[in-house]
Chain A
């Protein structure tokens, strides 16, 4: 019988060993491999967990809901957009397959947060009602809501005005930094994300519908950049405002290359104000060369170039102004007129306009004003924030505003919507090369209104819109008109 005891003991030990090995592996697995596996995107639980809270509603500035959620089943919710694709780029999307973008992403935490503990625990202490706490234990969890800065009317006008063209419109409140409107065209249908993705990935896409051009579209600014050059020139030499220039239509450089005015037009003698009005490349190219690349770049950087401007509810691509050598006169001249390797986002130019409008104080652009809970109580207020308090002096800002006003006043006949708004503005026609060939230039317009006490600053770009004095100005004028008169 002894051999039996030994055998049984051996069998016992072998199985004990197997169990211990398996248990150790289980422990190792859970501690080391577990967390990564649980966080893997294939794990539907992550989305189911997110689905526990019904995503909060996003409202426009007047409290009208523009994006709401309702639950479909245990694993998914659907986002409903009250205005179709009107706000599609500002809001972004949230999708189990494609991820989260835009405002949905920036404020994802708030939208998914349910302040259950505070709500139920507080009411528990207040009423000491354990029974209702138990009864309400499975209460529906709804996330916090966001009140944006977007103005329905402005957004709609900008959207309609831009129409079928590609481009973007950004409208800011210069004093607060609030983004009143942000439109990017072409849009996509937010209820058919799959279709939009398919198109975008098809390899033949020329539309880039999913791109929010307002924040991520990078373009040469062209003549609207002269606003910055203007500011830098005055700062560099205050006497420049009284100077008389001789514009013969072109600048010729030592190596024989030329910088021409639009249509090679020669303007003859003109002061700075009129040089700005007619958008003289000669004058502004000369000014750029005179002050040097360092000075102009320094001022540009104060306006936010070569840096990522922090925004609330948005992230903005960096705009760039080049660093050039002293002998690169040609490039320096080009940089002064917003060509060469100067590249901007529409938002950056709107910020330039807004800063000028706000007497040289750069406000942080914000898309969100308030965070509220599901019952509408304010949880958090987003204050207006000064990013830079003296980009340019108030005096210089005043001069620029005067010049911009002068420009618009002299062109009211072309842009009737500006009538009565006391607006200022600047046109831009940005040349660029595509595949080594000169393409149809982009049309730009920036505007401030009313000049004496600005309520709005707008930047408009129409891709391949030819001259900015055409479509871009037209669109800007409509937006401004609505802002001033449409209260």
Chain B
């Protein structure tokens, strides 16, 4: 029971962090900003209640998935509150919806293994969702921030690729689970060809939508799942080789790819036009130092897309790099807990599913943080659970819900 005590201590620390951050936010204005206090308390209540629910129904399930996600959600809502209060409230609503979905999936649904045999359904969903953004953009001649991955119904917009991501993972899990190594290149290849085509189709859709970040992530997830399913390192290297060829090709064919790479190589040269976003982000991060300039003392409005792509830069500026690295550690731990669930189940579908979803979280984090720090070219990816965005938040909680569900199995 010592574990339970420690767990409760962690929860209390989360409440403390939440209350402190929101109190600080409240004190930033004069007189006191009551909204901040309400949101802070509200978050604590939601987290406490949800944790209680999960523990009551499935005490064998993984506890850390929810704990780590709630930390990230708190930091996300807090930073968004700092940037724009109305955005924070919208984000809070998405968090609540997300957690609700998470609880429904982890409590009410049957075992994930029951979902293993719907590979054709998943394939169709993937085929529909992947090009949705592109088609919508082409038909209605709409572009959002230079990319065409949004679809609007009236005042509401969503990113179909976020949901396509989930269906792709489901599809790959269900089609690769039956893979059996026959030690015969032709036979093995036959088993893999359809999944490979679906993956390539998705990648092409993303490239055409100029959503290069998603391309990278889908690629990472697919290769990882392939490796887990086949245990063949040579497939991995073949894929890597093909991807290099593809990347060079894309560089040559697509001007926007070329531009991204040029800006990445020397952002300072393009500081006044294309590299402006990155450079402003770097200024923000550098100004934050190790301990940050303090909540409310940074200048997030100097950063473009501070609420989505560059929210990590805002965290670096106001909370400092030490805190930001802590957040990175939390993401890694989330990935670790997620992928560890593969050992808890013996169902191949569930294992693949779990690996795919965890890899998705890790890849997304690495790609966006890497882009902000110019380790890799910048792409328009959201930081999971922290960036503003309903589609992103919902799809993440779907993924977490499925992970939680698998961890409860057996």
Contacts and interface: CB of A to CB of B under 8 A. Distances in A.
A4 to B, nearest CB: 7
A38 B289 CA distance: 9
Contacts of B359: 11, 15
A30 B291 CA distance: 11
Contacts, number: 103
A42 interface: yes
Contact of B282 (A22, A27, A37): A37
A203 interface: no
A45 B355 contact: no
A44 B321 contact: no
Contacts of A3: 231
Given A42-B283, A44-B299, A48-B299, A11 B228 contact: yes
B224 A11 contact: yes
Interface in B311-366: 321, 324-325, 328-329, 331-332, 335-336, 339, 342-343, 346, 351, 355, 359, 362, 366
Interface in B84-108: none
Most buried by A among B29, B228, B286, B336: B286
Given A15-B362, A26-B325, A38-B283, A137 B302 contact: no
Given A8-B339, A19-B328, A37-B283, A30 B228 contact: no
B335 A15 contact: yes
B373 A45 contact: no
Interface in A34-93: 34-38, 40, 42-45, 48, 74
B285 A1 contact: no
Contacts of A23: 325, 328-329
Contacts of B271: 42
B366 A44 contact: no
A12 B286 contact: no
Given A7-B228, A11-B224, A11-B228, A137 B30 contact: yes
Contact of A40 (B29, B283, B289, B302): B283
B28 to A, nearest CB: 8
Contacts of A135: 30
A40 B267 CA distance: 14
A48 B284 CA distance: 12
Contacts of B375: 22, 25
Nearest to B321: A30
A82 B155 CA distance: 52
B289 A34 contact: yes
A3 B227 CA distance: 11
Given A22-B366, A25-B375, A8 B286 contact: no
Nearest to B336: A12
B228 A33 contact: no
Contacts of B27: 137
A433 interface: no
B279 interface: yes
A29 interface: yes
B370 interface: yes
Interface residues of B, number: 42
Nearest to B272: A42
A130 interface: no
Contact of A4 (B228, B336, B366): B228
Given A25-B373, A45-B302, A138 B286 contact: no
Nearest to B231: A3
Contacts of B332: 15-16, 19
A26 B321 contact: yes
A335 to B, nearest CB: 52
B287 A38 contact: yes
Nearest to B229: A7
Interface residues of A, number: 38
Nearest to A35: B286
A8 B29 CA distance: 49
Interface in A307-345: none
B321 A27 contact: yes
A263 interface: no
B286 A38 contact: yes
A239 interface: no
A237 B301 CA distance: 74
A29 B228 contact: no
A111 B408 CA distance: 65
Contacts of B335: 15
B302 A11 contact: no
A25 B375 CA distance: 8
B285 A34 contact: yes
B43 interface: no
A77 to B, nearest CB: 16
A125 interface: no
Contacts of A29: 285, 373
Contacts of A33: 286
B228 A45 contact: no
B369 interface: yes
B261 interface: no
Contacts of A74: 299, 301
Contacts of B355: 8, 11
B142 interface: no
B257 interface: no
A451 B140 CA distance: 88
Contact of A19 (B228, B321, B366): B366
B286 A37 contact: yes
Interface string A100-135: 000000000000000000000000000000000001
A138 B290 CA distance: 25
A242 interface: no
A3 B231 CA distance: 7
A33 B231 CA distance: 41
Contacts of A36: 286
Contacts of B279: 42
9 contacts: A16-B332, A19-B332, A19-B366, A29-B373, A37-B283, A38-B287, A45-B299, A45-B302, A137-B30
Which A-B residue pairs are the 3 nearest by beta carbons?
Answer: A37-B286, A38-B286, A34-B286
Given A7-B228, A23-B329, A137-B27, 4 more contacts: A29-B285, A33-B286, A34-B286, A37-B282
